[in-house]
Amino acid sequence: MSAPLVQLTAKRERLADLTTGELASRLADHEDCSAAKGLGTAKKIFRHAFGNDALGDATWNCEGLSEAQIGRWAHPIVLPLSPRIALNVAEHAPSSDGTVRLLLRAPDNALIESVIIPADKGRNQPRTTLCLSSQVGCARACRFCETGVLGLQRQLSSSEIVDQFRIAQRICRDSGRQLNNLVFMGMGEPFDNLREVLRALAVLTDQHGFAFPGSRITVSTVGVADKIAEFFANTRAELAISLNAPDDARRNHLMPINERFDLATLIGAVRQHMPANRRVLFQYALFAGVNDSLQDAALLAQLVSAVRCRVNIIPANPGPDPALVAPSTDHVNLFVEALAKRGVTTLVRRPRGRDIGGACGQLAGAARRRVGDGAQTDTPCL
């Protein structure tokens, strides 16, 4: 049985729980502060706290703030907002393929997983992707997913999402890499925690702080169709949608969300709300004998034909349902060829980090079996 549902448990006293706009409003409540002065000061605060974050923590006292040209009037408002990382590294699990699964522990003992995925093959410049979590557990109960088995335990705050990035960024820096892409494909359904995800996106992409390019961030949903308009209206991040079946009957079986938002409703919402200059990434996990026939490829091509998109094919990873297994590589190739023949732009995503339980759909299961509740093994924030 899943743990009881609770809302945000992290205290909202951390700097990365506010955008610069929200911080500016708080500063502008001060009697000597205009809106413009509040915004200018908020930008300086972000620059000081997060502008060189990969190198370590900023000095967070009156001297440090004064050196950063932040007026003394603002110090009593700013200093209680901690800029420190609040998550500890409970487990650092490297895979034989270079992927690293991180198990992070929050002050309330909630466990959160992130995955660092390096990609060197066939590239002039090595690239590194970080897979982020947006919730502890998940309520959506997709049949192929370990996280769904946990049920939803709680939402992550914006600062806890940003902390995953900061910890991974420091690990990458120590091994001479840098993070190039962020994907919200870890634990949780981002659209079920959209307010905090949007806030985290604003903090991560703010030019005065981490300045991560919005175009290099992808948020993945299982198809919470009534949040698609809000997503497109508030961020430039890319949208990925997990389809995983070419018709409603099979999608109902694999993904209970389909009973709430069926395929026609989902595709209709994308068509209605996607801005003219954008596209979506459809994800399709291949399960042998379930959704991988050549007729299924034809149905899938038809389904996505009315949307500007790319389709990512993902051979299934071992998950909680032993009946859901990947087809052979030859069959995956046939399926992709059938899509390509119908003009669908397709990419096959090969599994990464399977041996450490870090591949798609595997997060939470392996880690929880290995790490108890004791905090002795935790590494303080990097």
**Phi and psi, residue 171, nearest 5°:** -65, -45
CB of 282 to ligand SF4, least distance (A): 14
189 binds ligand SF4 (CB under 6 A): yes
**Phi and psi, residue 115, nearest 5°:** -130, 125
For residue 9, what are its two tokens? 């448990």
CB of 248 to ligand SF4, least distance (A): 17
Q: Which is nearer to ligand SF4, 145 or 338 (CB)?
A: 145
145 binds ligand SF4 (CB under 6 A): yes
254 binds ligand SF4 (CB under 6 A): no
- Per residue in 267-300, is it b (16+ CB within 10 Å) or e — as a string? bebbeebbeeeeebbbbbbbbbebbbbeebbeeb
CB under 6 A: which stretch of 57-65, 66-74, 184-192, 284-292 binds ligand SF4?
Answer: 184-192
Considering only residues 208-247, where is the footprint of ligand SF4 by CB under 6 A?
222
CB of 269 to ligand SF4, least distance (A): 17
CB under 6 A: which stretch of 44-52, 80-88, 143-151, 302-310 binds ligand SF4?
Answer: 143-151
Q: How many CB atoms lie within 10 A of CB 256?
A: 16
Q: Which is nearer to ligand SF4, 24 or 156 (CB)?
A: 156
Pairing of strands 100-105, 88-94: antiparallel
The residues, any chain, with a CB within 8 Å of residue 314's CB and separated by 6 or more, are 283, 284, 285, 286, 348, 349, 351, 360
Taking each helix axis from N to C terminus, what angle separates 158-174 and 194-205, rounded to the nearest 10 degrees? 40
Q: Which is nearer to ligand SF4, 145 or 171 (CB)?
A: 145
Q: Which is nearer to ligand SF4, 146 or 206 (CB)?
A: 146
Annotated active-site residue 113? The verdict is yes
Alpha-carbon torsion, ordered 216, 217, 222, 226, to 10 deg: -110
Q: Which is nearer to ligand SF4, 103 or 222 (CB)?
A: 222
303 binds ligand SF4 (CB under 6 A): no
CB of 68 to ligand SF4, least distance (A): 39
Residue number of the CB closest to ligand SF4 reads: 148
Strand ranges, E, within 165-232: 181-184, 217-221
Q: Which is nearer to ligand SF4, 53 or 189 (CB)?
A: 189
Annotated active-site residue 360? The verdict is yes
Pairing of strands 217-221, 280-286: unpaired
Helices (H), 175-260: 194-205, 228-234, 248-254, 257-260
**How many residues sit in the footprint of ligand SF4 (CB under 6 A)?**
11
Distance CA 372, CA 184 (A): 26
Q: Which residues are catalytic?
A: 113, 360
- Give the interface with ligand SF4 as residue ranges (CB under 6 A): 138, 140-142, 145, 147-148, 187-189, 222
